[in-house]
Structure 1
Amino acid sequence: MTTLADLIAVLDAAYPPALAESWDAVGLVCGDPATELNRVLFAVDATAAVVEEAIGWGAQALVVHHPLLLRGVDTVAANTPKGALLHRLIRSGCALFTAHTNADSAAPGVSDALAAALGLTVTGPLVAKPEAAVDNWVVHVPRAHTDAVLAALFAAGAGGGGNYRDCALRVQAKGQFRPVAQAAPAHGVLGELQHVEEDRVEVVAPPAARSAVLAALRAAHPYEDPAYHLSERAPLPTALGLGRIGTLPEPESLRTFTRRVALALPATAWGVRAAGSPERVVRTVAVCGGAGDSLLDTVSRLGVDVYLTADLRHHPVDEHLRKGGPALVDAAHWATEFPWCAQAESLVRSALPGVLTTVSRLRTDPWTVASPG
């Protein structure tokens, strides 16, 4: 039997909750993880119409991108708009699950789906998330005590992570020291130069374990004052992060690229608009699903030809163009994130082949009317 817990495991593996921004609200909103799962509906928003669609189709789970309860709430009473939706879902046995900024930064994620819809070849994230910080400990140990010191370091949290444990580098070395003044050496006598057969040991550990590793080192090491060196690995970029940079199959004008966007994304009243010379040649493209005006300086610095995102405002765009930034293409927020639904559905379908999945075709973009003039 496939359960809601199985679905959560698949989605959390693809869109790790740890990637979510600190202000975000992701994960299971309502539902019992032990519930049997047969049908899952995917959408950008949990609107009333989408909730009714999920229930009418017999879904046991509705997976959305935008959180229903993003801001702090003190009630989900059934006489409030959002509370009414939650009560409707719970009574109908349909869970609600959200993957928001964690899906934005995942690889593949929201912007990968947007780039794929446009036919781009992705070269990397627009704003890369760094790898997790890692400490590298270098310790000199008398050879007869190496195993005991390593065992203590491992017990304190050093020596690897993920699928590997008790990892270390051991290099034979010859140490020397001269105890002076009030020293109480474990080997040798005051004033005389000592030579000791040692091992140079290197282990990695998370920075959060520094205090524990240092305490373990001092407790297990035979020397009064152990020789060690601690360094932290420089933050290295990963494939994770906001937005994506990609290249078109062939250069084309901004006018043509804007048309490409309009044809690739679902139609909305908002439509697609561009800022910049219509004949500007476009080769490299930056994309960010959803609101991306906070990254205008980033795309300027990276020197792409055009930046596609949503919710661009007059004054930031005007200032951006005055400073010689790349051309801009502005599409509806919902439309830029809609391709993600198919991506999420595809990975769930592959991981849980016994579950029936579908993407809601309801347009949840709030804009409903546009007039040409």
Structure 2
Amino acid sequence: MTTVKDVIKLFEKWVPITLAESWDNVGLQIGSKNQPVHKLMITLDVVEEVVDEAVEGGVDMIIAHHPLLFKGIKSIDFSSPKGRVIQKLIQHNISVYAAHTNLDVVEGGVNDWLAERLELQYTKVLVPTTEESLLKFVVYVPRTHVTEMLAALGEADAGHIGNYSHCSYRGEGTGAFKPLEGSDPFIGKEYKMEEVEESKVETIIKKSQLSQVLQAAQKAHPYEEMAYDLLPLANKGEKRGLGRIGTVKQPITLANYASLVKEQLQVPTLRYVGDPEQLIKKVAVLGGSGKGFIDAAKHAGADVYVTGDLTFHDAQDAEQAGFSLIDPGHHVEEVMKQGVKRFFSDHMEQLPNRIEIKASKLSTEPFRFI
């Protein structure tokens, strides 16, 4: 039976909580990791209407982008809006898990979905926050099992260098060992020195991959005790961070690009700053509230910066500096609903049992437009 723990384990292989900002509150917020999950719902926000939708649909677990519990609370008053939400969740045994800035930062997450919607290509991280540490993984394996080992390492996503996968290096040599009392050697006998023709297989891995790579290697290795080395590398790892910057498929005026943003993000209206006839080639985007990174977008060479929650003074300063902005609102982060649903649908076989995945049908946009 699939449990909350199983769902979290699968999700955090892709979106580890270590990617979240220090001020953020992500992870399991309400519920038990041992609770069975038959139905999982994805939502941007956990508000009362969404909880009612979950209750009606028999949902066991909710994954939200915006944390329900963000600021510290000193009491839970069931007559308050948040208190009623917490009460209903507990009464109906619904667990809540939040993935916020870690889902923004991760490759293939919120900002990549937004960049895809905005038809950007050759995208890069706009504001780097972390750089992946790299390790050299070296394993010694009998030559008879090299093929199995290489296949296992490749399936564990080891050996990525740029646009190349399954990268490795092999050296040949002789392994020596003496099985002691209580051992169960694949080759050799107790207290007798043994020499075996072995291959030294080297590959590069991300530090975050270490557990899965070790597990895959040990499964493919025939020996009772696998000999391996781990060496820290000075090589630069993949940069992760907030926002994305990329180029449009072909130059377009600011006015026309603003219309494209409105259509692609399915918003009823938006605001923009700048000369409508300005030619747009390079675009920066950051989901949610990105006003703190206007200068970063400008210095990165963007012709326009797409983000939400811009103030009058943000807009005025940008206009005076000759820099263009497009504000489609904060709620466009709801692209995460279909994105996360697609992730679980694509990786369902990694759960103990199949579960039903649904995206909330409700909009949690608080603004009304006329």
User: How does the TM-score come out when normalised to structure 2?
Assistant: 0.71
Residues matched between the structures, number: 283
C-alpha distance in structure 2 between counterparts of 1:132 and 1:115, whole Å: 22
What are the Cα deviations for residues 132-190 of structure 1, in whole angstroms up to 9, with x where unaligned? Answer: 56899xxxxxxxxxxxxxxxxxxxxxxx952468537xxxxxxxxxxxxxxxxxxxxxx
Aligned to 2:275: 277
Aligned to 1:348: 344
C-alpha distance in structure 1 between counterparts of 2:56 and 2:122, whole Å: 38
C-alpha distance in structure 1 between counterparts of 2:113 and 2:132, whole Å: 25
Shift of 1:239: 4.2
Query: Kindly, what percent of the aligned residue pairs are identical?
Result: 31
SS at match of 2:23: coil
SS at match of 2:363: coil
What are the Cα deviations for residues 57-94 of structure 1, in whole angstroms up to 9, with x where unaligned? Answer: 11111111101111011122423321221120121121
Contact 2:27–2:97, Cα closer than 8 Å, also in 1: yes
SS at match of 2:59: coil
Aligned to 1:357: 357
What are the Cα deviations for residues 24-75 of structure 1, in whole angstroms up to 9, with x where unaligned? Answer: 1101111222222121111111111111111111111111110111101112
Shift of 1:121: 1.8
C-alpha distance in structure 1 between counterparts of 2:88 and 2:301, whole Å: 49
Aligned to 1:173: none
More off after superposition, 115-124 vs 90-99: 115-124
SS at match of 1:7: helix
Structure 1: state its 5+ residue gaps: 137-159, 169-202, 206-232
Shift of 1:8: 0.8
More off after superposition, 27-36 vs 294-303: 27-36
C-alpha distance in structure 1 between counterparts of 2:75 and 2:106, whole Å: 31
Contact 2:124–2:246, Cα closer than 8 Å, also in 1: yes
Mapping of residues 147-186 of structure 1, within 5 Å: 162=210, 163=213, 166-167=228-229
Aligned to 2:296: 298
Shift of 1:250: 1.7
Contact 1:124–1:244, Cα closer than 8 Å, also in 2: yes
Contact 1:250–1:283, Cα closer than 8 Å, also in 2: yes
Is 1:204 aligned to 2:201, yes or no?
no
In structure 1, what residue type is equivalent to 2:58?
G
Note the aligned Cα RMSD (angstroms).
Answer: 2.5
Aligned to 2:113: 113
SS at match of 2:318: helix
In structure 1, what residue type is equivalent to 2:61?
A
SS at match of 1:167: strand
Aligned to 1:338: 334
Larger Rg: 1
C-alpha distance in structure 1 between counterparts of 2:53 and 2:264, whole Å: 25
In structure 1, what residue type is equivalent to 2:282?
T
C-alpha distance in structure 2 between counterparts of 1:5 and 1:122, whole Å: 36
C-alpha distance in structure 2 between counterparts of 1:112 and 1:133, whole Å: 22
Mapping of residues 1-373 of structure 1, within 5 Å: 1-132=1-132, 162=210, 163=213, 166-167=228-229, 203-204=231-232, 233=234, 236=236, 238-268=238-268, 271-325=269-323, 327-335=324-332, 337-352=333-348, 354-368=354-368, 370-371=369-370
C-alpha distance in structure 1 between counterparts of 2:10 and 2:114, whole Å: 21
Contact 2:134–2:237, Cα closer than 8 Å, also in 1: no
SS at match of 1:261: helix
What are the Cα deviations for residues 4-40 of structure 1, in whole angstroms up to 9, with x where unaligned? Answer: 1111112212211011111111011112222221211
Contact 1:107–1:239, Cα closer than 8 Å, also in 2: no
Contact 1:129–1:237, Cα closer than 8 Å, also in 2: no
SS at match of 1:338: helix
Structure 2: state its 5+ residue gaps: 137-205, 215-226
SS at match of 1:63: strand
C-alpha distance in structure 1 between counterparts of 2:18 and 2:77, whole Å: 30
Contact 2:120–2:247, Cα closer than 8 Å, also in 1: yes
What are the Cα deviations for residues 265-295 of structure 1, in whole angstroms up to 9, with x where unaligned? Answer: 1334xx2111101111111111000000111
Shift of 1:323: 2.2
What are the Cα deviations for residues 326-362 of structure 1, in whole angstroms up to 9, with x where unaligned? Answer: x110011012x01111111111112225221121121
**Change over 3 Å in CA distance of 1:301–1:123 after alignment to 2:** same
Aligned to 1:212: none
